Structure 1
Amino acid sequence: MPRERRFSEPEVLERLTDVFSTHGYASTSLALLQEATGLGKQSLYNTFGDKQSMYLQAIDCAVQRSAQTVAAVQAAASGRAAVVAYFDALVASCTSANPVDKHCIVTSGLLEGIAEAPLAWALTTRWQSTHELLRAAVERGQRDGSIVSAIPSAELAELLIALTSGLRVAAQAGRSGDQMQRSVALALSVLDTP
């Protein structure tokens, strides 16, 4: 008769996500995952599969964590307000007292250059979703007049998503929230230039 599980899978997945986000895929060892979750190797493998499967589930978990930001962007009063809401949430994350919040599993995974096809595809797909979120906000702003730039929305989204990664790195380099907000304001001034 199989033994009853005495742990919460969602809670353990949150801890796995924290470890992968903080340490990256290659540097995350089974020992780190066991230490973070309090589970043995077999329990982890039986519940979540191998390391690759754990990482894929962690990416999905990280995406779920950002659902509130996505909702705020989509509910904003204008396209420009949507872009500002996105960057306000990002800077808040980068300056959080919780060190885990300063890391993004997608950004770190892409910077790591993970070669395994399923992982690279999952990371690139999530990255593209953020690009699309920003592109749609810019396009909306161009339609509603809150963004006056005539630069194509996809090109502006490229700039904004590059800023996203830059802010993550800036946070790791010790930049303050005020410094990051100034960088955001400077970058967003492009939206106000015809």
Structure 2
Amino acid sequence: MLAHMPRPRKFLESDVVSSASEVFAVHGLAAATLDDLVRATGLGKQSLYNAFGGKRELFLRALSEDRAEAARAVAEALGHDDASPLERIRGHLLGLAIEFSSTDRRVSLTTRALVESTGDEDPIATSTRAGIEQLAGVYAQCLDHAREGGELPADANVQSLAVYFVAVTRGMELLGRAGVGRSVLTAVALDALRTIHGRRMDDTEQRVTLPE
């Protein structure tokens, strides 16, 4: 007698994870329901459990892929050789000001997890910190090149500056989600660059205020 063969899965896990990521980015882990995930992925509850182990495990899978994609996007933005390292960071930040001010853009899952993280020693907090470190590593590499090329002082702490840029960009993303416009986000980006140059805004420069 032939052994019973399991039925092949009729879905791509990557597609399911991508759809689930959209749900989690909008609602967060706690507020996202299994019904939300069923509607988004087209899978039944039992199929989701069989394939991924549950809602929390699916969230971790989506978070892992989101943070990897975020690091790839930053690396690509900073990887062009036709500009100096700080010019590349400048272009990257100004591009984010445009992207984050889009009214139809969702918050990335990495940023959503960062906001919801309790700091406890659990897999979600560990994965979130790994995402921060991954992004900081990409910025640090570019900043190290800037230091080697004389754009930054020889004693500049590139690791600290790299984390600073992670904080600035994640903050810009949340501000954009809250409805802050492109002009303000652009000013934030430019002031971040002024900070690493050790310059302050003077009275002749235009100042911006957050909308009421």
Q: Work out whether 1:35 is the aligned partner of 2:39.
A: yes
**Aligned counterpart for 2:90 among listed residues 74, 84, 90:** 84
SS at match of 1:146: coil
Question: What is the letter of the counterpart of residue 84 of structure 1?
Answer: R
The alignment status of 1:48 with 2:52, answered yes or no, reads yes
Residue 128 (structure 1) shift: 1.1
Aligned to 1:122: 127
How far the C-alpha of 1:54 sits from its partner, in A, is 0.6
Q: Give the direction of change, closer, same or farther, for the CA distance of 1:12–1:70 in structure 2 (3 Å limit).
A: same
Structure 2 residue aligned with 1:3: 7
Among 174, 179, 193, the residue aligned to 1:188: 193
* Contact 2:90–2:190 (CA under 8 A) maintained in structure 1: no
Aligned with 1:74: secondary structure?
A: coil
- Matched residue type, 2:182: G
Q: Encode CA deviations 1:105-131: one digit per residue, 9 max, x unaligned.
A: 222212212446111111101111112
Contact 1:149 1:193 in 2 (8 A): no
Match of 2:165 in 1: 160
Q: TM-score, normalization: structure 1?
A: 0.85
% identity of equivalent residues: 27
Normalized per residue, the structure richer in helix is 1
Match of 1:175 among 175, 180, 191: 180
Name the CA shift for 1:168/1:138 in 2 (closer, same or farther; >3 Å).
Answer: same
- The amino acid that maps onto 1:41 is K
CA pair 158-64 structure 1, distance change in 2 beyond 3 A: closer
State whether structure 2 residue 139 is matched by structure 1 residue 134. yes
Q: Which position in structure 2 is the counterpart of 1:72? A: 77
Structure 2 SS opposite 1:175: coil
Aligned amino acid, residue 37 of structure 1 = T
- Native 8 Å contact 1:25 1:55 kept in 2: yes
Does the CA-based 8 Å contact 2:17-2:62 persist in structure 1?
yes
Whether the aligned pair in 2 keeps the contact of 1:21 and 1:105 (CA below 8 Å) is yes
TM-score w.r.t. the length of structure 2 is 0.79
Assess, with a 3 A threshold, how the Cα gap between structure 1 residues 68 and 113 changes in structure 2: closer, same or farther: closer
In 2, are the aligned partners of 1:79 and 1:147 still within 8 Å (CA)? no
More displaced 10-residue stretch of structure 1: 150-159 or 124-133 = 150-159
Match of 1:99 in 2: 105
Give the aligned partner of residue 111 of structure 1. 115
**Conserved in 1, the CA contact under 8 Å of 2:101 and 2:177?**
no
For structure 1, which runs of at least 5 residues remain unmatched after alignment?
Answer: none
Matching residue's letter, 2:164: L
Give a deviation string over 1:142-175, Cα, whole Å, max 9, x none. 2112345854222322332221222122112211
* Structure 2: 5+ residue stretches without partners: 200-212
